[in-house]
């Protein structure tokens, strides 16, 4: 790289060299400033931790309620729905933390995910789950 620079310096007039250096500096600044959005800020890290903790609390509640005593004779869908209903507080906390814009579609999808996961926990408790 140094050899190339020295060769260009001998061949180019001084005003072109100055222009070249300005252009190179602008390109370096643009490239480095483009990386600024690629990193999470500390507030994003705290938010992600709160979201992860809310998921864990919701999943722990679903697992506990899906494996409740006396539910083995009941329909798996009914037990999953009851487990999801029993964990409404945890699901609502997850929605509150992760859906800061208040989008009703996001809230609905999180509730559907809770029911889906509850079914997975019910099937797992009955020995029918794949995981």
> Are 26 and 90 members of one domain?
no
Residue ranges making up the domain that contains 7: 2-33
Number of domains in the chain: 2
Please check whether residue 54 is in contact with residue 91, taking contact to mean a CB–CB distance below 8 angstroms.
no
Instruction: Kindly state whether residue 85 falls inside one of the protein's structural domains.
Output: yes
> Are 76 and 112 members of one domain?
yes
Phi then psi for residue 103, to 5 deg, are: -70, 120
> Are 11 and 75 members of one domain?
no
> Are 55 and 26 members of one domain?
no
> Are 22 and 62 members of one domain?
no
Give the least confident one: 44-48, 50-54, 95-99: 44-48
In sequence order, the 6+-apart residues with CB closer than 8 A to the CB of 71 are 79, 82, 122
pLDDT band at 105 (very low <50, low <70, confident <90, very high): very high
Q: For 84-96, what is the mean pLDDT?
A: 95
pLDDT band at 21 (very low <50, low <70, confident <90, very high): confident
> Are 115 and 76 members of one domain?
yes
pLDDT of residue 131: 53
Mean pLDDT value across the chain: 83
Instruction: Kindly state whether residue 38 falls inside one of the protein's structural domains.
Output: no
Instruction: Kindly state whether residue 130 falls inside one of the protein's structural domains.
Output: no
pLDDT of residue 63: 92
Q: How far is CA 48 from CA 13, 27, 35, 105, 106, in A?
A: 54, 33, 21, 20, 17
The answer to whether residue 128 scores a pLDDT higher than 70 is yes
> Are 57 and 105 members of one domain?
yes
């Amino acid at each position: 790289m140094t050899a190339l620079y020295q060769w260009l310096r001998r061949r180019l007039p001084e005003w072109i060299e100055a222009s070249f250096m300005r252009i190179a500096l602008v390109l370096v600044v643009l490239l480095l400033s483009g990386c600024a959005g690629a990193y999470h800020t500390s507030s994003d890290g705290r938010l992600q931790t709160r979201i992860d903790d809310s998921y864990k609390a919701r999943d722990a509640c679903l697992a506990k309620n899906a494996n409740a005593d006396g539910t083995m004779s009941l329909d798996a869908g009914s037990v999953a729905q009851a487990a999801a209903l029993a964990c409404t507080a945890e699901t609502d906390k997850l929605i509150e933390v992760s859906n800061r814009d208040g989008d009703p579609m996001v809230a609905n999808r999180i509730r559907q995910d809770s029911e889906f996961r509850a079914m997975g926990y019910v099937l797992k408790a009955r020995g029918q789950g794949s995981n």
